Amino acid sequence: MTPARTTFLLSILFLLASIACFGDDGPPAATVATATTPPATQRPPVVTREPTSAPPTAATATPRAQLSTPAPTTTRTTDPTRRPDPGETPSPVPSPTPIPDLSFRFGDDVSVFERTLIITAIEVTRDLLASDAGVSPPVTVFAHKGLEGLLRDYTQYARAQEWRAQGLVERLTNVVAEASYRGVLINTGHRAWAVLTDADLMRAVAHEYVHVVQLENAGPQIADQTLRSNVDAVPPAGPLWLLEGSAEVVSYLVADRLDIQDYPGTLVDLGIEARDNPVPLAKLETYLGYYAGGDDGIARAVLASDYLLRNRDLSQLFAYWDDIRRGSRWQDAFVRRFGTTVENFYMNFDAFYQATYGG
């Protein structure tokens, strides 16, 4: 373990303390990290087409707000109609033990450094969205070095049917992380986990958390339909370029907040990258079209999402999915929250892109 990695990790832990992300029972401090700031080399695809599951009921981390559960001082059964004796002290009523709204389930094979990296990414993303967008849904983060452990834990603690969990876990053979309704699964044994930079890994985890927030605001019914929608149809939660592009934008903002990647500089790099294959946004609306667009399509999705959010705060973005949950078509929610039709936005973005990055 190098002193440079130790220095970087300590700086991460100091940042976490400064934004008060951990409770009193937060994770143990690690002693390894990287000292350099490598450029992002990959942007893993992340919205998964997996049916929803019920929220988890068990956790290994403390809730963000520490709550106490007073114990009753007596166990006797009393008659609710009985008048209290003079001077009698009423017994306190016990409050229910709260279910943590954020929890982590790590396999024994996940190192302290990997745990710290994952917790940091989740906590900083959660803090950013809670403060800037007012959203902070319950989520359980599962991380194992093998798919067997992920399948076992997700089935048990997310209360998912095994066949649903199996489908989600199988997709982790292709990527390092996946999102589901109120859950994030991370495969630290994936070959890419060992070669991606720490910045890329943290962004991938942050990206998945954003999908959890999107699905939470859209509601369980729309989330289920979106995760199971046909690959050649626009999901009920809206076009893939917005689902994926906005998650990437937030992940880059997290990296910028952690001082491991410069957000304005990243936009310039993506603008140059997208010149090679200027994929129209209309072709990036479906799963099939989005993934066929490759890295150039991903770059345009990020730039379009950034353009959409200029002069708007993040709360408008997540209010868009809330409108869909309340019954609006995604096209109508788009007009309401962003003040333009999708078609007009496409034309305006093309003009903006040419003027800004056309070269």
Most confident of 15-19, 52-56, 62-66, 86-90: 86-90
* C-alpha closest to that of 150 among 109, 95, 181, 112: 109
CATH architecture of 3-60+99-357: Orthogonal Bundle (1.10)
The Cα–Cα gap between 123 and 140 comes to 12
Give the rounded distance of the alpha carbon of 95 from its chain centre.
Answer: 31
Locate the domains of the chain by residue range. 3-60+99-357
Tens digits of per-residue pLDDT, 95-121?
A: 554 556 899 999 999 999 999 999 999
The model's pTM is 0.74
The Cα–Cα gap between 305 and 309 comes to 6
In this prediction, residue 166 carries a pLDDT of: 80
Q: Which of these ranges, 57-61, 209-213, 261-265, has the smallest mean pLDDT?
A: 57-61
The Cα–Cα gap between 219 and 197 comes to 34
Task: Determine contact, residues 172/188, Cβ cutoff 8 Å.
Answer: no
The Cα–Cα gap between 260 and 38 comes to 8
Where residue 134 falls (left for φ over 0; alpha for ψ -120 to 50; beta otherwise) is left
The Cα–Cα gap between 135 and 213 comes to 7
The Cα–Cα gap between 78 and 81 comes to 9
What does the radius of gyration of the chain's CA atoms come to, in whole angstroms? Answer: 22
Q: Is the pLDDT of residue 145 over 60?
A: yes
In this prediction, residue 158 carries a pLDDT of: 80
Q: Which of these ranges, 61-65, 139-143, 221-225, 299-303, has the smallest mean pLDDT?
A: 61-65
Tokens of 280: 């129209």
Tens digits of per-residue pLDDT, 275-323?
A: 888 889 999 999 999 999 999 999 999 999 999 999 898 999 999 999 9
Angle at 86 between CA 91 and CA 95, to 5 degrees: 15
Q: Is the pLDDT of residue 92 over 90?
A: no
Distance (Å) of CA 15 to CA 9, 18, 20, 271: 10, 5, 9, 30
User: Which band of pLDDT confidence, cut at 50, 70 and 90, is reported for residue 159?
Assistant: low
Task: Determine contact, residues 42/199, Cβ cutoff 8 Å.
Answer: no
Tens digits of per-residue pLDDT, 180-203?
A: 999 999 999 999 999 999 999 999
